[in-house]
Amino acid sequence: MPIMETVTVDESQFPEAVQRDLLECWRRREVLPKFHYETYRQARHWLALHEAHSPARRDPECAAIYDRAFAATGNMLTEAGARVVGLGCGGGQKDARLIQILASHKAPLSYLPCDASMPLVLTAQHAVEAVLPGICCDPLVCDLGRCEDLAQSIDRVAGQTGLPGRRIFTFFGMIPNFDPGFIFPRLRKALGAEDWLLCSANLAPGQNYRAGVEAVLPGYDNDLTREWLFVFLNDCGVERDHGEIRFGIEEDGRGFLRIVANFCIAKRIEVAVLGEKFEFKEGDKILLFYSYRYQPAQVEGLLRGQGMEAAQQWMAPSVEEGVFLCRRHS
């Protein structure tokens, strides 16, 4: 285990940017996803939740689709190898498994874990180093939602080592936490002509879209999720008797459904954040979290709409999760 790490912090996660975003969350009463992952306490809660409820962790048949996707990706490697860029890397378990499979091809590999959370970036780096000791890693703390030129930020970090090979972007478990009108154009902009994107989407099983979303709601509406989401509120001075977290399903106006978690205020409170005060009355809501659930055809349509295509895809038998190997249209 190294005794020191070098981490690059993008300007989107400089203190002044984080403070600005935090105040904007309270003004809009809508929490940006990154604020649920930033601290070590939050990361610990999220990793426990992921282990307990992620289909990829609790369903062997779901985990198997990732191995099939990783094997197919490995078959495309050339002698030049690849730089794996883990966008929203989380704890890095899937990136580590991908790199473990790619390493069997004996081509040069490097890894760039990227997340808004310093604890998760380091956790992902160490997970990858455990399966491939000595791999070159360039960890990047970056807010994917705020970084104006993601490709440039990645190239700036990667250029420090200048290793050859095509780029393989991973984007696991992140699509649900972004508005589709924002994240798919952002991914397309980051992809070069020779790059590949491995992404996963949380799906709504069955032919009935709403019924499928209702079927997976218990994976969110549970004590572990509430504990994780409450950390943000508590760190800002909100107490448990100030309200409760309620889950529901809403349509976004474009035909897509998402699971939402609102903190519903039970009594008048005043919250002080960075010297600014925010008042809430009984019945007010703070949107803590949302997660879009799609059906496979919807994901394909969103990719096509941004000039990308799913060259291959793999669906879990439960159809609760899918993995897509994507590239830009020729």
Examine the domain organization and report whether 275 and 181 are in the same domain: no
Examine the domain organization and report whether 88 and 234 are in the same domain: no
What are the tokens at 66? 């990732």
Task: Answer yes or no: is 2 within a domain.
Answer: no
Residue recorded with tokens 């939740």: 49
Task: Answer yes or no: is 65 within a domain.
Answer: yes
Angle at 216 between CA 169 and CA 229, to 5 degrees: 70
- Cα separation, 277 vs 268, whole angstroms: 13
Range of the domain at 273: 209-293
Partners of 168 in beta bridges: 84, 196
| pTM given for the model | 0.90
Examine the domain organization and report whether 287 and 318 are in the same domain: no
Q: List pLDDT tens digits, range 200-241.
A: 999 999 999 999 999 999 999 999 999 999 999 999 999 999
Examine the domain organization and report whether 49 and 112 are in the same domain: yes
Examine the domain organization and report whether 31 and 180 are in the same domain: yes
Residue-wise burial string across 260-271, b where 16 or more C-beta atoms lie within 10 A, e elsewhere: bbbbebeeebeb
Task: Answer yes or no: is 1 within a domain.
Answer: no
Q: List pLDDT tens digits, range 71-92.
A: 999 998 988 899 999 999 989 9
Examine the domain organization and report whether 213 and 319 are in the same domain: no
Task: Answer yes or no: is 3 within a domain.
Answer: no
Q: List pLDDT tens digits, range 31-42.
A: 999 999 888 899
What are the tokens at 21? 């975003």
Examine the domain organization and report whether 201 and 226 are in the same domain: no
Examine the domain organization and report whether 197 and 214 are in the same domain: no
Is residue 236 within 8 Å of 38, Cβ to Cβ?
no
- Cα separation, 260 vs 289, whole angstroms: 6
Between 108 and 330, the higher pLDDT residue = 108
What are the backbone dihedrals phi and psi of residue 34, each rounded to the nearest 5 degrees, phi first?
A: -60, -25
Please give the pLDDT value at position 127.
Answer: 96
Count how many domains the chain has. 2
Q: List pLDDT tens digits, range 302-315.
A: 999 999 999 999 99
Task: Answer yes or no: is 305 within a domain.
Answer: yes
Examine the domain organization and report whether 179 and 62 are in the same domain: yes
